Structure formats: C-alpha cells, structure tokens
Amino acid sequence: MVIKQQPINVSNTTLCRSGRNRHRKVDARQAKRHNYGQAHCKNCDRVFTKYNQRSQNCSDECSRESKRAYRKKRYAENRELLLADNRKYREENREKLAAKRHKRREENREEVLARERKYYKENREQFAAHQRKYREKNLEKMAAHQRNWRKRNPEKAAAYTRKYREENRDKLAAKNRKYREENREKLEAYHRKYREKNREKLRVQARKYHEENRETSRANARKHYEKKSKDPEWVKNRNARNRERYHAKKKEK
C-alpha cells in the first residue's frame, strides 16, 4: 500500500536518514511513502504508521529519547566494567586528554567559566562539604603545597595577601577579636613563654626602636600615662611595683 504524502512544512522538517534518498527533506511527524502497518510507539505509546519494517518510534524526538534510555540502562548494567575501561583509557592517554582539555578551555574560556560559576551556585553546600572533607584528609599535603608556592612566588603571594586584607579588613578584625576572647589564657601563656625565651632580643629591638623614634615613643608614653593615671586601681598597682623595686635595690646595696 502506498500513502499519498501531504506537502510538508519546510520549517518543521529534517533530512531523511536514508542515504539512498539523497537526503530528501521529509516531515518526521507524518506518515512516510511506504506503509508497513501501524504500531505503538516504543517511547510515548502513541499509534503511528510505520515507514520502515523495523520502525519502533513515531518521531525523531521519541527516537532520541529511546536511545538515551537505552544508553542509561546499558550504563547501569555495566557500570563497573565501563568505569574500569574509562580509568584504563585515562591512565594510558593522560597527556593527550590533558592537552585536549586545556585546548578546549582556552578556546571556550568564557563559556566554561560561566558554566562552572552556575554549577557552583547551584551546588554551593555540596562543594563546601567536599572541600572540608578534602582539607581534613590532606591537611599536611595542602600546607606543603602552599608553602612551596609561596617560596616560588613571594611577590605574588604578598600582593594577594595585601589585597585580601584590604578587602576584608573588618571581617579579619572581628575574627581576631573573637579568637582572642575565646583563647585569652592560651595566648597569654604563649606570650609569656616567648618573652622569657627571647628577653634579650626583645630588649635590643625595643632600645633600637626607641632610639630611632624617640619623640614618638615619648609622646606615646605620655599619652598612655595620662589615660591610665585616671584609673585608681592602676595607680595603686604602679605605686606598689615602684615600692618593691625601691626596696629590692636598697637590699642589693
């Protein structure tokens, strides 16, 4: 039986998949010239007229969906085998694949970055959890990598640090205040230990700074004294310290 084809809408056409037809334009949604009976579409279950003995889909859209479903099913059934093949191929062609990725990224930089930004926004919590887990697992490795990078690029690292501090000054100050409040005793113990260990070094630094900035040091000392002298508790403690020093010197004589 031969079906009379209706004139097709040119804006809704596709090339015929048969090379023998010299790629004539045919409408994928209307019946083709040869009738092989009717059947239910494999994808959407709609009744359609077959234009080939082996036709199972009513349109190109349904054909694409069927192929996609078949690929998913095949991947699920052979997941481990396919992953092993992929790993083997990547190991054997590591440089080739890396060069291909770099080339594609350079040629489509804006497109790749836009896609990565979009994916990161949609999966922010997942990224954060993955990064935390990776840092916990590879803490020493990441610290060593960062130290090596800073040694190789000291100027770039210093510029990056300055820029970050300028842009996040308030945030860093709040973070430092919170840490000092929560770890006051720990910090005081650390500073005491450091001062005892480096007493001479600190005295030399203080004398050098005082000689180079004599006027500034005196002005700061006066300002500090004027501020503290208004506190009676501080005055009382200062007088007690002075008495102790006086009696200690007197005993030495």
> In this predicted structure, what is the pLDDT of residue 246?
87
Backbone angles phi, psi at 2, to 5 degrees: -115, 130
> In this predicted structure, what is the pLDDT of residue 85?
93
> In this predicted structure, what is the pLDDT of residue 221?
87
> In this predicted structure, what is the pLDDT of residue 52?
75
Residues contacting residue 187 through CB under 8 Å, at least 6 positions apart: 180
**Strand runs labelled E in 138-181:** none
Residues 174 and 66: their CA atoms lie apart, in Å, by 58
On the question of pLDDT at 170 being above 90, the answer is yes
Q: Which two tokens stand for residue 36?
A: 């092989």
Q: Give the pLDDT band of residue 35 (cuts 50, 70, 90).
A: low
Residues 72 and 128: their CA atoms lie apart, in Å, by 29
DSSP 138: S
- Mean pLDDT (whole number) for 15-42: 60
Report yes or no: 36 and 53 within 8 Å, Cβ to Cβ. yes
H or E segment at 15?
strand 14-15
Chain centre distance of CA 157: 19
- Mean pLDDT (whole number) for 128-155: 92
On the question of pLDDT at 16 being above 80, the answer is no
DSSP 58: S
Q: How far is CA 215 from CA 186, 200, 205, 211, in A?
A: 35, 24, 17, 9
Q: List beta partners, residue 48.
A: 39
DSSP 28: T
CA atoms within 13 A on the CB side of 126: 5
> In this predicted structure, what is the pLDDT of residue 2?
42
Q: For 59-90, how does the pLDDT look when each residue is reduced to its tens digit (9 = 90+)?
A: 888 889 999 999 999 999 999 999 999 999 99
The closest alpha carbon to 32, from 44, 17, 19, belongs to 17
The percentage of the chain sitting over the pLDDT mark of 70, rounded to a whole number, equals 86
- Mean pLDDT (whole number) for 42-53: 84
> In this predicted structure, what is the pLDDT of residue 30?
52
Work out the angle at residue 243's Cα, subtended by the Cα atoms of residues 242 and 248, and round it to the nearest 5 degrees.
100
Q: For 90-109, how does the pLDDT look when each residue is reduced to its tens digit (9 = 90+)?
A: 999 999 999 999 999 999 99
Q: For 213-240, how does the pLDDT look when each residue is reduced to its tens digit (9 = 90+)?
A: 989 888 888 888 888 888 889 889 889 9
On the question of pLDDT at 11 being above 50, the answer is no
On the question of pLDDT at 135 being above 80, the answer is yes
Residues contacting residue 135 through CB under 8 Å, at least 6 positions apart: 142
